Amino acid sequence: MSATNCRGLMNQGRYHVLLGPNGFAMLPFIKKIAVRTANQPSPPTTYWLTRFVLLRLLGAVYAIAFLVAAKQIIPLIGAEGLTPLAPIADQIASEGKTAGSFFQYPSLFWFNHSDAMLQETAWAGFALSCVVVAGYANALIMLTLWAWYMSFVHLGLEWYGYGWEIQLLETGFLAVFLCPLLDPRPFPRRAPPVVTIWLYRWLIFRIMLGAGLIKLRGDPVWRDYTALYYHFETQPIPNGLSRWFHFLPPFVLRLGVGLNHFAELIAPWFVFWPRLARHIAGSVIILFQLTLVLSGNLSFLNWLTIVPALACFDDSFWRRVLPHVLVRHAEEAAALAQPSRTMKWAAWIYAGIVALLSIPVVVNLASPRQLMNNAFDPLGLVNTYGAFGSVGKERLNVVFEGTAAAVLDEHTVWKAYPYIGLPVDVMERPPQVAPYQLRLDWQMWFAAMATPNQYPFTINVVWKLLHNDAGTLSLFADNPFPDKPPHFIRARLYKYSFAPLDNPTGAYWTRQDLGDWLPPLSADNPSLQMELSRRHWLTSASAQPAPK
């Protein structure tokens, strides 16, 4: 209670309620305490617990990202993958352009892109990420994780062309300046530089505002508040709750668009404000991301976006929500903290670099021709972001189907290859796969809105399925031809819609057959072989005839 408030209560004749019958004897003492409290400075804002929580979540996101690479990178860009990296890297090396390519797209895999190197780097990254999740991180560890993951992003071809890849690079590189160089303890004797916390706030500001502006400038459905009439059904990979969200009353869906605009266009401006405003803004952003987690499978994007939002909270918040043992360890570390001029100046120097690299990003945010998810420097240190600038109004899906028949006619029986995440069987409820990312499923979502010429890897998918390629089949949920490969493969285009919640069949989807996306192809089709050979995808192993 301040001295002013104390005097106010007394002047209003209410002192006897607070002080009791002996209160007059206590008045000088209370007045002394009130004046001392009013003149005492508030405790300094610290970020020991903020750093602890932020690094743990970042480590978890890294772990998921590296696990995805470990499980999928060989079938995607390995020597026998759908889009092999080797022919591209080898051609550049033969032309003597490796050094220039390295500086344009830095990656360890320019110098060694063997399957063993790809696999070992992915598993090593996963293991090191788990070390960070366990509570041990320093600048060297975070720099290593960043460099390893950047190697996948820059040479991962179309499979790593998503906005959250460069977002993870920027988020991860900032973490280098949040930690001591060598001390990996959960609570080292070096305080987190406050300027790095502000850089994380600058990052979440750009992520959210960029996403909000691209929506207003893009599809009119965001401006007329009807975007959610379609989004839950047409998003890349729905989950088990997406249909429930889709059938919410229209006024609730319109309200959802309004809340989306509030979280992306209003809340970000308050991440730079004093404590209460920051805490509210951070809470709004995080709750919004958790809503997206519940309503769909957007890879690890939402969890990654929460990471910089955590910088909105200081230790005064975390002391109320974290276990007491963590709070005690943080207080002990703060009491024994030793200043580090090197750590402080490194953070400030990098802040200056971020300020310079932010110029084109700010120009892009202000531009009516705003780019979405673009890196302006080779290292992806400061990028521009955005999501769902347009919303599809119908859901198209390409389904690969095979048959063992040697001759095709109207009686031919076709069996579908089920995806892990995308809908195929109308009776199946979509699974929850996020934060894990199904990279083939995501690419096929885009491919369904285009042509095979725009997504040529689909030709290789057909070839691989005609040979029962184990790597490619690992990207699907099941193999309908386990004994021997099919004689023909085709790709069929379907339009999917959510079935009503109360439909008597229990179906989750309805679908309409729109015809061939790729015509039936066999392994001895000369046009198929010619196209694969032209792209250097017809290797000695894959060129073997399909087993009979």
Query: How do residues 195-242 score in pLDDT, each as one tens digit?
Result: 999 999 999 999 999 999 999 999 999 999 999 999 999 999 999 999
Mean pLDDT on 101-111: 91
Residue ranges covered by each domain of the chain: 3-39, 48-384, 395-534
> pLDDT-derived band of residue 42, with 50, 70 and 90 as boundaries?
low
**Mean pLDDT, the chain, whole residue set:** 90
What pLDDT is stored for residue 97 in this prediction? 82
What pLDDT is stored for residue 6 in this prediction? 38
**More confident: 123 or 92:** 123
Q: What residues contact residue 270 under an 8 Å CB cut-off, 6+ apart?
A: 277, 278, 280, 281
Is the pTM here over 0.95, yes or no? no
Whole-angstrom distance, CA of residue 261 vs CA of residue 257: 6
Of 29-38, 289-298, 447-456, 519-528, which range is least confident? 29-38
What pLDDT is stored for residue 548 in this prediction? 44
Query: How do residues 9-22 score in pLDDT, each as one tens digit?
Result: 333 333 333 334 34
Whole-angstrom distance, CA of residue 102 vs CA of residue 121: 18
CB atoms within 10 A of CB 280: 15
Mean pLDDT on 451-456: 96
User: Is residue 39's pLDDT more than 90?
Assistant: no
Q: What are phi and psi of 405, to 5 degrees?
A: -65, 140
Alpha helix stretches (DSSP H) within 156-249:
163-176, 194-217, 220-223, 231-234, 242-246
Q: What sign does the CA torsion over 148, 149, 150, 156 have?
A: positive
Query: How do residues 351-389 score in pLDDT, each as one tens digit?
Result: 999 999 999 999 999 999 999 999 999 999 999 999 899
Whole-angstrom distance, CA of residue 94 vs CA of residue 85: 14
